[in-house]
Amino acid sequence: MLHKRTVAGTAQAEFRPGIRVAAKTVDFGGEFERQFYGDVMLFAVDRLTALGYPQQSVDTRIVAETIDVVRSEMLDRYNARHNAIRARLAQAEALLRDPGYWWNLSSAHTAAVDDFAAFFANVAGNFAADSRVCLCINDQQSWDRWRDKLIDAADRYPGDCHTWRRILAGSQG
């Protein structure tokens, strides 16, 4: 999800928009939010194609219902995945802190253990039940804003396609 890129001209690494890097933390809540709602739109459009969309217009009510159902399903899947990540993280953190393992028996491994602890802290920060990532996709107000945008985009898409075909056909002449 971090998808590092390089900036033209400087060749310096950058993250995608929505990724915040501060000190030792990486917060990808903004990117994650776009990914979640992108998945909602992708799978909703996939279902709408069975109704002939976008070649045939589909009633806005059907578009809205489809988007609502897909969002609910995706939310269940994402939340289940987050719960699984939190469970695995708890296991990994317990192993990392266990004084009986070789990595805790010698100070030679302190830096590596610290690096793992920092990584685990980033995972916890991004997937905790109260993280920006989890709160955002479960928030009703956020959903209301995204829902309106997704419905509007789906409603406009057939007309936008027609407009682009007309414009491109005119530019080829």
pLDDT of residue 3: 45
Q: How far apart are CA 101 and CA 173, in angstroms?
A: 73
* pLDDT surpassing 90 at residue 2: no
**3-state secondary structure labels for all residues of 22-73:** ECCEEECHHHHHHHHHHHHHHHHHHHHHCCCCCCCCCCHHHHHHHHHHHHHH
Quickly tell me which residue has 């897909």 as its tokens: 70
Average pLDDT over residues 129-146: 92
Share of the chain above pLDDT 90, in %: 71
Residue 139: domain span: 38-158
9 located within any domain: no
Q: Structural domain tally of the chain?
A: 1
Q: How far apart are CA 141 and CA 151, in angstroms?
A: 16
Confidence bin at 5 (pLDDT 50/70/90): low
69 located within any domain: yes
Confidence bin at 1 (pLDDT 50/70/90): very low
| Residues 52-86 pLDDT 10s | 999 888 999 999 999 999 999 999 999 999 999 99
16 located within any domain: no
Q: How far apart are CA 47 and CA 160, in angstroms?
A: 20
Lowest mean pLDDT among 55-69, 129-143, 159-173: 159-173
The strand pairing partners of 14, in sequence order, are: 5
pLDDT of residue 30: 83
**Stated pTM of the model:** 0.78
20 located within any domain: no
Q: How far apart are CA 101 and CA 22, in angstroms?
A: 31
Q: Which amino acid is at 67?
A: I
62 located within any domain: yes
pLDDT of residue 28: 80
107 located within any domain: yes
Q: Which amino acid is at 63?
A: V
Confidence bin at 173 (pLDDT 50/70/90): low
80 located within any domain: yes
Q: What is the mean pLDDT of the chain?
A: 87
Average pLDDT over residues 140-158: 95
27 located within any domain: no
